[in-house]
DNA sequence: GAGCCGCGTTAAGGATTCGTCAAGAATCCC
DNA sequence: GGGATTCTTGACGAATCCTTAACGCGGCTC
């Protein structure tokens, strides 16, 4: 089910959108200010953000920019401002679409469908990864080593996701931290050290001499299949 | 250069859009009816289609549907019809965006940028550089020599970044020092000597007789692919 | 030809980062 | 509620990297 984050300071609009979207089969999360929206987007996976520009705390464009620092989630802007400048600013900041109030619900839904059509994951086919010492099923969340199932925690999985989906490529510590914990944790390289050690202990044949999760000192980590 | 196909039956609009888009660095192809548009899209590679709904031969929505049978190219619809039904029809047929006439040129350009931003990305150009004795993957931070991976430190990479991104160009010592260590170190040419030696030892076949990292005495260094 | 300057090379100290362990806090599940 | 899992946080040696100094070499100037 696609999860939509709706951000608006008007409780009536928020309620109306929530009901309409849910009736059309979407999951809905709401926020009535910019900070809450950014926080929510960092915590739950979101398919689309529907964003009102007129927020009480932060300017809407600012929300777009800060969201774009670490996320590619599509953003559909709602706004009472008809001015061309406002539209250009929001779109260039990283928004994907812009509707002016008052808007028709049918149009909003159609534009949401158009956006989602494009972002639908090309293939959630079984993402299987195999190395010389273990196998992973990313979509099924299963790990196997020497025939024995290995239990991994949620955080360990999300780290694996990022690393394994970019094999042999260097993943910066910042990248990992912002993808897993959110942009506010971009400096907590402590976490990475702890979790990389756990992953190695659970998956590597010789945790002290890793051959698949390689650390590049001063930069980040790299997955070697 | 991004190629845009503009479809409109009004020659004035066609001409105006052509001039504006070209002025902004896009390549432009035009068509004044639906059949010509479909034909043109099939013949030339197109990055975006800008489509007027009111065409003389085929209905605009029909053009979208027939285009979508074989192409995923983004479609931006222009239309004089403000009705919600028209928008929903066009968007659900496969259009990506919908602007009603009269529209601001700035808005059109911003929406084009928003669409292109999303579709250009998957190209994910791997910045690969190859010489006769080693290969570099700048984005993946991978260096290879004679089939063996070479480990480079962060500072070594940032020097490589500057040199390799300007092949055959002379990079002065000041440039290198300020780009890598910051402007305060612009006189510490000591560092450069140390690190250029390390890079040569790691990448050159004969470090004593470098063929790719060439020093221009008294000036700086030059990368020769 | 003596002295100076810029470059290449090497090695050692210091600073930073990494791996590891463990314990308390938070969360989840029954 | 209570127990178990998971997450956070701090501290410590060990490994890695950066900085710095010293020395040799060749070319240039005087």
B176: phi then psi, degrees, rounded to nearest 5: -60, -50
Rounded distance between C-alpha atoms, residue A103 and residue A100, angstroms: 6
**Average of per-residue pLDDT across A177-195:** 93
The answer to whether the CB atoms of B106 and A92 lie below 8 A apart is no
Strand D reaches within 7 A of the A208 CB: no
Lowest-pLDDT choice from A145-154, B124-133, B161-170: B124-133
Chain A CA closest to residue B121 = A72
So where are chain B's domains?
A: 3-120, 128-223
Mean pLDDT over B17-42 rounds to: 94
Chain B contact for A92 (CB, 8 A cutoff): yes
So what's the pLDDT on residue B136?
95
* A3-120 is classed CATH 3.80.10.10: no
Contacts of A77 (CB under 8 A, 6+ apart): A51, A52, A53, A60, A64, A90, A91, A95, A97, A98, A99
- Does residue B159 reach within 7 angstroms of strand C, measured from its CB? no
Q: Which of A92, A72, A99, A89 is nearest to B88 (CA)?
A: A99
Q: Give B201's pLDDT tier (boundaries 50, 70, 90).
A: very high
Q: Are strands A97-100 and A142-145 parallel, antiparallel or unpaired?
A: unpaired
**Complete DSSP assignment for chain A:** --EEEEE-S-HHHHHHHHHHHHHTT-EEEEESSHHHHHHHHHHS--SEEEEES--SSS-HHHHHHHHHTT----EEEEES---HHHHHHHHHHT-SEEEESS--HHHHHHHHHHHHHHHS-S--S--EEE-SS-EEETTTTEEEETTEEE---HHHHHHHHHHHTSTTSEEEHHHHHHHHT-GGGTT-HHHHHHHHHHHHHHH-SSTTS-SSEEEETTTEEEE--
Reported confidence tier of residue A121, pLDDT bands at 50, 70, 90: low
Q: Say if residue B124's pLDDT is above 60.
A: no
| Partner-chain contact A113 B92, CB within 8 Å | yes
Q: Which residue of B has its CA nearest to A94?
A: B114
Average model confidence (pLDDT) for chain A?
A: 90
How many angstroms separate the CA of B204 from the C1' of D25? Answer: 21
B170-172 sheet: strands from edge to edge: B170-172, B220-223, B213-216
Would you say domain A128-223 falls under CATH 1.10.10.10? yes
Q: Which pLDDT band, with edges at 50, 70 and 90, does B123 fall under?
A: very low
Residue A122 pLDDT more than 60? no
Residue B163 confidence (pLDDT) above 80 = yes
**Would you say the pTM of this structure is higher than 0.85?**
no
pLDDT tops 90 at residue A119: no
The string over B23-42, giving b where at least 16 C-beta atoms fall within 10 Å of a residue's C-beta and e elsewhere, is eeebebbbbbbbeebbebbe
- The answer on pLDDT for A10 being more than 60 is yes
In a 3-state reduction of DSSP, which class is residue B9? coil
Contact: B87, A110; criterion CB under 8 Å: yes
Minimal C-alpha gap between A122 and chain B (Å) = 12
Q: pLDDT digit string (tens) for B44-66? A: 889 999 999 989 999 999 999 99
In whole angstroms, what is the distance from residue B219 CA to residue B217 CA? 5
Residues A70, A72: Cα–Cα separation, whole Å:
7
Tell me the pLDDT tens digit for each residue of A41-78.
877 778 999 999 989 989 999 999 988 877 889 999 99
Distance of CA A116 to the CA centre of its chain: 15
What is the rounded average pLDDT of the residues B101-120?
Answer: 90
Percent of chain A with pLDDT over 90: 68
For residues A11-40, average pLDDT: 91
What pLDDT is recorded for position B125?
Answer: 62
Output the distance from A197 CA to D12 C1' rounded to whole Å.
16
C-alpha pair distances (Å), A80 with each of A33, A63, A100, A110: 16, 17, 5, 19
Round to a whole number and report the distance in Å from the CA of A44 to the C1' of C19. 31
């Amino acid at each position: 089910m696609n999860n939509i984050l709706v951000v608006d300071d008007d409780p009536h609009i928020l309620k109306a959108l929530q009901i309409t979207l849910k009736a059309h089969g979407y999951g809905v999360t709401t926020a009535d200010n910019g900070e809450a929206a950014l926080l929510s987007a960092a915590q739950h996976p979101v398919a689309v953000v529907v964003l009102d520009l007129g927020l009480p705390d932060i300017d809407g464009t600012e929300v777009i920019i800060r969201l774009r620092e670490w996320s590619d989630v599509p953003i559909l802007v709602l706004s009472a401002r008809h001015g061309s400048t406002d539209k250009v600013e929001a779109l260039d900041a990283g928004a994907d679409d812009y509707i002016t109030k008052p808007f028709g619900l049918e149009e909003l839904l159609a534009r949401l469908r158009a956006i989602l059509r494009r972002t639908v994951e090309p293939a959630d086919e079984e993402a299987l990864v195999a190395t010389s010492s273990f196998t992973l099923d990313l979509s099924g969340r299963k790990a196997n080593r020497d025939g024995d199932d290995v239990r991994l925690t949620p955080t360990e999985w999300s780290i694996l996701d990022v690393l394994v989906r970019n094999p042999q490529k260097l993943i910066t510590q910042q990248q990992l931290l912002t993808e897993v914990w959110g942009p506010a944790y971009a400096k907590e390289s402590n976490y990475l050290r702890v979790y990389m050690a756990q992953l190695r202990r659970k998956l590597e044949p010789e945790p002290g001499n890793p051959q698949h999760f390689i650390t590049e000192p001063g930069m980040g980590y790299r997955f070697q299949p």
